Structure 1
């Protein structure tokens, strides 16, 4: 690991303090409860000309998708910083965020499929550009995690980081796909006055914030686990080296 610059020391220390504070847990719980209350209390269940309770899943679906995009962006930044500095913390951050992001991408696909089955009478549609590009994102980051599973050596970490940087292009591509190509189901909602995907804005915003906080909480937990694993590995190596040293009488 290279010597940390003053700015890097400050950034790492700030993130570690954030990850260890109990306030993050309490805030996540508070906003999560408020989000559930707003979804079941004030959120409209009418979308795309259909009134059905299944439409409420859209608030989690959109929140998960937003948090997933944020998580994979953090993975991208962590990969860049690791390749530039070779600081272990950035590798841990990138990998942990990739794990949580992959989980959120998976849940986004599952909730979208359940929602679509009722609203569009289809679990999946290969002609919908958003669905296809988001599935590509899922496969890309499954590959990212598989590379890491090959081992924790520096060479593997650098390879995974390079892969994470290149693979990130699929994330913004999936977002803009509905503007570049004509979608089957997923019409553009932001900046589109003709959209039928009407939502209750306060409930949606609470859901997005709740999922973002849940992401931070899970990320903090995974980063701490990675750091503990790294320390344990260092201790074991040091003990093995001491055991391999010849005794003073030899």
Structure 2
């Protein structure tokens, strides 16, 4: 029931967000291509939130050794990779239009790419043939260590400077109120999408664990 409610809210939220992008938010000086920002930013934020959930769930698993925390960490990591990939793709499209290059080895972009590879390795580890308990333990440790790169992505523009718009934040964004409203509408809409997908994936992983346990039981008999 919760998933259905979140899914319905996500659908409504995405429709409202799209309307605000194309008919409410003004066209920036750089032209219509700037509107990809309203997709790029929510993907970036929800990727970081996903990896934070991996971090917290991994800690809870180490202390409580409850399988549900391992499943939440796995589901959040998958969503984090999905949103991080979308953020990198939309960011590259934006960069090509704004800077004339698909990619710059900039502190913000480089730390984001490193983060992507770290969590890609995390997902590879989760798919390796290893004892369930041992794999959950190893993944929990990696889920905690991997989070070290997330604050670097968040603060890299302020620490080292950046061509990314975050690096100019301290000089003022110059965004109008309608643009900020569109940003927050996107964050809320994508949040509903994220919540529905997370709950669905956690449930799927729980069913998969039960199925694997039944298969092991049958083999033993």
Q: Which residue of 2 aligns with 1:38?
A: 20
Deviates more, 1:53-62 or 1:144-153: 144-153
Root-mean-square deviation (CA, aligned residues, Å) is 1.7
Number of corresponding residues = 219
Q: Which residue of 2 aligns with 1:12?
A: none
Gaps of 5+ in 1: 1-16, 244-250
Are 2:63 and 1:84 aligned? yes
Displacement of 1:68 in angstroms is: 0.6
1:224 to 200, 203, 208: 203
Displacement of 1:113 in angstroms is: 0.1
Question: Take 2:9 and 2:190, find their aligned partners in 1: how far apart are those partners?
Answer: 12
Q: Secondary structure at the match of 1:22?
A: helix
Structure (1/2) with the larger helix percentage: 2
1:205 to 149, 169, 184: 184
Q: Does the Cα contact within 8 Å between 2:161 and 2:167 map onto a contact in 1?
A: no
Q: Does the Cα contact within 8 Å between 2:126 and 2:135 map onto a contact in 1?
A: yes
Q: Which residue of 2 aligns with 1:123?
A: 102
Q: Which residue of 2 aligns with 1:176?
A: 155
1:89-108 matches, within 5 Å, as 89-108=68-87
Q: Does the Cα contact within 8 Å between 1:130 and 1:186 map onto a contact in 2?
A: no
Q: Does the Cα contact within 8 Å between 1:188 and 1:195 map onto a contact in 2?
A: no
Are 2:139 and 1:139 aligned? no
Are 2:173 and 1:195 aligned? yes
TM-score scaled to structure 2, two decimals?
0.93
Deviations 1:61-110 (A, max 9, x none): 00100111111111111111111111000000000100010111011000
Q: Which residue of 1 aligns with 2:7?
A: 25
TM-score scaled to structure 1, two decimals?
0.83
Displacement of 1:151 in angstroms is: 3.0
Q: Secondary structure at the match of 1:184?
A: coil
Displacement of 1:238 in angstroms is: 2.3
- Between the two structures, name the one with larger relative contact order (CA 8 Å, sep ≥ 6): 2
Question: Take 1:125 and 1:22, find their aligned partners in 2: how far apart are those partners?
Answer: 41
Q: Which residue of 2 aligns with 1:157?
A: 136
